[in-house]
Chains A and B, each alone.
Chain A
């Protein structure tokens, strides 16, 4: 009986849920059972390692920490609202960005590796958004698509066809 009640509740709640997008945070996009990152405790500027500078030159380049980071499959198809910074990929003639990557922190922090693939959303928008500043955060609303990792190629990750994009204001 309680199960049936729950199902009924879901049935009633679902349309409401679909109408109002759910606020999502970036940490919810990492599966809770994902292995926690082991912090690499090397200090950024360690004088005793100055002799390693040359050997670092010949070492391979820093890799994206998790190029195929695990994604939360249950988010697929959900109508969500997510705040983030916009990295434009396509700009149309009217100067509106129609294709972009949404990331949790602004741009080029070159001190740490780039964000893992489960912290990037590839967003497409028919209308586009007029970007004035790269460091302006935006809310993006729409159904989220989750693509599971299929191969070595970094194909996995989150995609979205945005319904609404608007400026993120600081909550007062």
Chain B
């Protein structure tokens, strides 16, 4: 114990260098843990976004691409598929339910999705949880009704009955708006922690209605314009949708239906199993993950080597200190353990400060990250793996502390006493 007190007192004497060293370690620990946190949470939130869906079908592209745009609203579709293709497979006897999706428009940076009531009934996330309305109702027969995700309602301060205008394209600031056909907010969904929170849901009829007078890629002018009321009376059956999700009666028939869709003669389509596509996404990302992890490990190593350097340089100016300790009866191993303790104390302070820093950063950035990246970072206790990492850092610090310890152990008593300062 007195050894520990001595080590502390000695560190306190050099508090500025000691603090800086601990701070360097803290920063590196914080980085390592942050990378680990973001990695696991990103995976968890991706995995909990979709559940209970057996097949996702879209225009022929890549499986990861289809998964990203249909479920995570990342990237864009390569092509639309025809409405009759959807109807063909929705009425297949193997299919229990089908959710059509039409994407491509936005409202102040949030994606708009055209769908049917089946979405609220059958879409599942997390552990087979269904969507629930926090307020209001799902859209009904009127095409100009919108149901907001929780995040959209929160961030833009919308409430039931508000009117809003959708925009063409998916930019946050849009120059071309469908401003002649405003939508009324009829429902707000409960928070799910998935991209659903950042989506505005309208009916397929509504999606069709806002584009009904767009003929040459621009809104119609003058007499060509069709008002909202006129549109209500028109046939709003969509010609095309972007993708659809299928739930099957029996999981065993998944492969059969997947093959049937992929070889559909009507038009080229792609059916994917969401679980398989997710797995492919992981293996795609694992290289980047590993690279990030290695980089942060090296940052930690740099922090520890900084500590080693600081202790080693101080050894020379502390020769007298050591000699005095020896002269009052300290044995060489006392001196050695003093230095190991010092390294350990520095690393421990660094680790604790690093973890504290991480939690402060998470607490501060939680809302922003959730709103902008849809990633929820919980203020949870470190996981088992994170404890292992922290333990590893402390062990590495002990190992490094033994280098100056060994040098001090070898220095003789006379060495410290004979120097002239």
A residues sitting closer than 8 Å to B (CB atoms) are 57-64, 67, 87-95, 97, 99-101, 103, 107, 110, 113-115, 117, 120, 122, 131, 133-134, 152-157
Cα–Cα distance between A89 and B258 once the two chains are bound (Å): 13
Q: Would you call B252 and A156 a contact (CB within 8 A)?
A: yes
Chain A binding surface SS class: loop
Residue among B51, B255, B279, B283 making CB contact with A114, cutoff 8 Å: B255
- What 1/0 flags go to B263-280 for Cβ under 8 Å of A? 111000000010110111
B residues sitting closer than 8 Å to A (CB atoms) are 43-44, 47-48, 51-52, 54, 93-94, 126-128, 249-256, 258-260, 262-265, 273, 275-276, 278-280, 282-283
Residue among A64, A93, A156 making CB contact with B259, cutoff 8 Å: A64
Cα–Cα distance between A93 and B264 once the two chains are bound (Å): 34
6 nearest interchain CB pairs? A88-B275, A64-B256, A114-B255, A61-B263, A154-B253, A157-B252
Q: Would you call B250 and A89 a contact (CB within 8 A)?
A: no
Chain B residue numbers with a CB within 8 Å of A114 are 255-256, 258-259
Q: Would you call B255 and A58 a contact (CB within 8 A)?
A: no
Chain B residue numbers with a CB within 8 Å of A122 are 250-252
Q: Would you call A87 and B276 a contact (CB within 8 A)?
A: yes
Residue among B47, B249, B253 making CB contact with A93, cutoff 8 Å: B47
Q: Would you call A87 and B252 a contact (CB within 8 A)?
A: no
Q: Would you call A154 and B48 a contact (CB within 8 A)?
A: no
Residue among B54, B94, B249, B256 making CB contact with A89, cutoff 8 Å: B54
Cα–Cα distance between A107 and B273 once the two chains are bound (Å): 11
Q: Which residue of A lies closest to B259 (CB)?
A: A114
Also in contact, A60 and B265, with CB within 8 A (given A114-B259, A154-B94): yes
Cα–Cα distance between A156 and B44 once the two chains are bound (Å): 33
Residue among B47, B51, B251, B255 making CB contact with A64, cutoff 8 Å: B255
Q: Which residue of B lies closest to A65 (CB)?
A: B256
Chain B residue numbers with a CB within 8 Å of A110 are 262
Q: Would you call B265 and A100 a contact (CB within 8 A)?
A: no
Also in contact, A134 and B263, with CB within 8 A (given A67-B256, A120-B255, A153-B249): no
Residue among A64, A89, A93 making CB contact with B44, cutoff 8 Å: A93
Q: Would you call A155 and B265 a contact (CB within 8 A)?
A: no
Closest Cβ of chain B to A86, distance in Å, is 9
Q: Which residue of A lies closest to B54 (CB)?
A: A89
Closest Cβ of chain A to B149, distance in Å, is 20
Q: Would you call B253 and A117 a contact (CB within 8 A)?
A: yes
Q: Would you call B259 and A101 a contact (CB within 8 A)?
A: no
Q: A90-B128, A134-B283 are in contact. List 11 more A-B contacts (CB 8 A).
A: A60-B265, A64-B255, A87-B275, A90-B51, A91-B278, A92-B127, A93-B44, A117-B256, A131-B279, A152-B93, A153-B253
Residue among A89, A91, A117, A157 making CB contact with B47, cutoff 8 Å: A91
Q: Would you call B273 and A87 a contact (CB within 8 A)?
A: yes
Q: Would you call A63 and B278 a contact (CB within 8 A)?
A: no
Some 25 contacts from A to B, beta carbons below 8 A apart, are A61-B264, A61-B265, A62-B260, A63-B260, A64-B256, A64-B259, A64-B260, A87-B276, A89-B254, A90-B275, A92-B47, A93-B47, A93-B127, A97-B275, A99-B251, A113-B259, A114-B256, A115-B255, A117-B252, A122-B251, A153-B93, A153-B249, A154-B94, A154-B249, A157-B252
- Residue among B249, B255, B265, B273 with the highest chain A CB neighbour number at 10 A: B255
Closest Cβ of chain B to A95, distance in Å, is 5
Cα–Cα distance between A60 and B51 once the two chains are bound (Å): 31
Q: Would you call A133 and B259 a contact (CB within 8 A)?
A: no
Cα–Cα distance between A126 and B329 once the two chains are bound (Å): 63
Chain B residue numbers with a CB within 8 Å of A57 are 265
Chain A residue numbers with a CB within 8 Å of B273 are 87-89
Q: Would you call B127 and A120 a contact (CB within 8 A)?
A: no
Chain B residue numbers with a CB within 8 Å of A64 are 253, 255-256, 259-260
- Residue among A57, A63, A120, A152 with the highest chain B CB neighbour number at 10 A: A120
Also in contact, A101 and B48, with CB within 8 A (given A87-B273, A90-B275, A153-B94): no
Chain A residue numbers with a CB within 8 Å of B255 are 64, 101, 103, 114-115, 120
Closest Cβ of chain A to B178, distance in Å, is 37
Q: Which residue of A lies closest to B63 (CB)?
A: A108
Chain B residue numbers with a CB within 8 Å of A107 are 276
Q: Which residue of B lies closest to A60 (CB)?
A: B265
Q: Which residue of B lies closest to A116 (CB)?
A: B256
Chain B residue numbers with a CB within 8 Å of A133 are 283
Cα–Cα distance between A89 and B253 once the two chains are bound (Å): 13
Q: Would you call B51 and A88 a contact (CB within 8 A)?
A: no
- Residue among B47, B51, B52, B265 with the highest chain A CB neighbour number at 10 A: B47
Closest Cβ of chain B to A36, distance in Å, is 21
